[in-house]
Amino acid sequence: MTMQQMALPMRALAARAGDGLFWLMAALPMALAASLIAVLLSVLPARAEDAACGGRNLVTGFKTSDPVKFAALEKEAAATPNGKGIFWKIEKAGVEPSYLLGTMHMTDPRVLAMPQGADAAYAQAATVIVESDEIVDDRKAAAALMMRPDLTMFADGKSIKDFLDDSQEQKLAADLKARGIPLPLVARMKPWMIASFVALPACEMSRKAAGASFLDKKLAEEALANGKSLKGLETLVEQLKAMDALPIAFHLDALIETLALGETINDVMSTTTDLYLSGDIGMIMPMMKAVSEEKSVTSDAGYADFEQRIIIDRNKVMASRAKPILDGGNAFMAVGALHLPGAEGVIELLRKDGFTVTAAN
């Protein structure tokens, strides 16, 4: 994606801005997000949250209310390489097979129940690979945040208010207040830090506040408890640097868009979960584009950087660091499902590294 593409029609720009918004919601490094949530929950006023999750399936809505749009979504999803399936078998001559599970970084009990065959593959694996092995210790993850405040907080006395006009500041303050977050409390945090908190529906926040582990963390914790070798593909500092390197304007737009979704976040999360459970991960991004088209107000500036640093570069890091581990065989690799599909997704990159990767179920 080049800067020349900034001249594309506004509809396309809105779609790509929606990509950025959803990736911020769904692909934000989870060790970082988990630590941030733990910190914020410790300082925000206590609130009683309803742990029941609501939300409607937006794809089903498109199917009945706008068959033309639904057909377009299906077409785009079908064109996505490896867009079907979340559980894959990795093979190479001379070693035991390994397995790859696309995860959803949520505590939803339906997500924690892995697809058929995954439990057995996990049980027999000698090594478990996750995005970051730092997720097993919230205190260490939080300490890493504190060691590099320059990556998560504004310096030199600046705050998020310095990047907003009066009307934007008033709108941001009102939207955060509606979520129970006073703007002065988080004003010195980088926008993406705030977005990582407000992008989660109340039910997920309630479960996390109660100490529930998301799938990746659960797999990592059980690996250590059962004497398996646990390997991480990224460090928390690397994740911090990748997020902090993006333009501040892009992060501000993504935060504003996330807040603008309002209760639609519940619909987005419900729809995403349904698509994940059915293995239709190639439909997730087209769905989010359709949802965000009417709400998006951002330009394309910054998105090329976002796609490169947070999606493509991280995919390459994951695949290259997983290769020597997978070369030994008998491993169980679990990374966010949205890192799997696409021409530059983890599955295609592993195939280029000489592995045979096929759907396991």
- Report pLDDT digits (tens) over 157-166: 899 999 998 9
Please report the DSSP string for 227-290 in residue order: T-EEEESS-HHHHHHHHHTS-HHHHHHHHHHHHHTTTHHHHHHHHHHHHHHTT-GGGHHHHHHH
Please report the DSSP string for 162-216 in residue order: GGS-HHHHHHHHHHHHHTT--HHHHTTB-HHHHHHHHTS-HHHHHHHHTTPPPHH
Query: What is the band of 304 on the pLDDT scale with cuts at 50, 70, 90?
Result: low
Is residue 332 one of the residues assigned to a domain? yes
Instruction: Pick the range with the lowest mean pLDDT from 19-33, 96-110, 158-172, 207-221.
Output: 19-33
CA distance 81 to 357: 13
CA distance 170 to 167: 5
Query: What is the band of 241 on the pLDDT scale with cuts at 50, 70, 90?
Result: confident
Is residue 193 one of the residues assigned to a domain? yes
Query: Domain total for the chain?
Result: 1
The DSSP H or E segment spanning 322 is: helix 313-326
Is residue 183 one of the residues assigned to a domain? no
Query: What is the band of 301 on the pLDDT scale with cuts at 50, 70, 90?
Result: very low
| pTM for the predicted model, two decimal places | 0.84
Q: Supply the mean pLDDT for the chain.
A: 81
Q: What is the mean pLDDT of residues 15-25?
A: 39
Is residue 168 one of the residues assigned to a domain? no
User: Is pLDDT above 50 for 17?
Assistant: no
Is residue 180 one of the residues assigned to a domain? no
Place of tokens 């990795």: 90
Domain, as residue range, for 339: 9-42+55-153+189-359
Do residues 352 and 120 lie in contact, with contact meaning Cβ atoms separated by under 8 Å? no
